[in-house]
């Protein structure tokens, strides 16, 4: 088990993750163990999927966004477009 200080972790997190690749890392705050950094096991190609499987993360409700189509209008047509929208919406 490796140990590093919280300051070292904040200044060089990549070093801490490299250490965690081999073994568990304890992060010390004022000489006392405050955090534990461990590598997530499982599907190494997709760590998010592994976290969803363990229940740590929740998958998004929708995977695709709804796209709004926008059409370009000339500035002279803008007034007519606004009037058409108001009539369509009943304002």
| pLDDT computed for residue 33 by the predictor | 93
In a domain, 82, yes or no: no
**Dist CA 72 CA 77 (whole Å):** 10
CATH of the domain at 7: 3.40.1620.10
Per residue in 3-40, pLDDT (tens digit) is 999 999 999 999 999 999 888 999 999 999 999 998 87
| pLDDT computed for residue 42 by the predictor | 56
When divided into structural domains, the chain yields a total of: 1
Owning domain of residue 24: 1-56
In a domain, 71, yes or no: no
**Dist CA 81 CA 67 (whole Å):** 21
In a domain, 69, yes or no: no
In a domain, 63, yes or no: no
In a domain, 70, yes or no: no
- Name residue, tokens 């926008």: 70
Two structure tokens written together for 83: 């009037």
In a domain, 88, yes or no: no
pLDDT at 44 over 70: no
In a domain, 85, yes or no: no
Question: What pTM was estimated for this model as a whole?
Answer: 0.46
Per residue in 61-70, pLDDT (tens digit) is 776 777 777 7
């Amino acid at each position: 088990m490796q140990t590093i200080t919280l300051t070292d972790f904040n200044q060089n997190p990549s070093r801490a993750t490299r250490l965690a690749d081999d073994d568990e890392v304890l992060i010390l705050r004022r000489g006392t163990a405050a955090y534990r950094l461990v590598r997530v096991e499982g599907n190494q190609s997709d760590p998010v999927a592994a976290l969803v499987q363990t229940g740590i993360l929740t998958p998004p409700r929708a995977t695709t966004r709804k796209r709004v189509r926008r059409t370009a209008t000339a500035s002279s047509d803008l007034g007519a477009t606004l009037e058409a929208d108001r009539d369509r919406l009943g304002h």
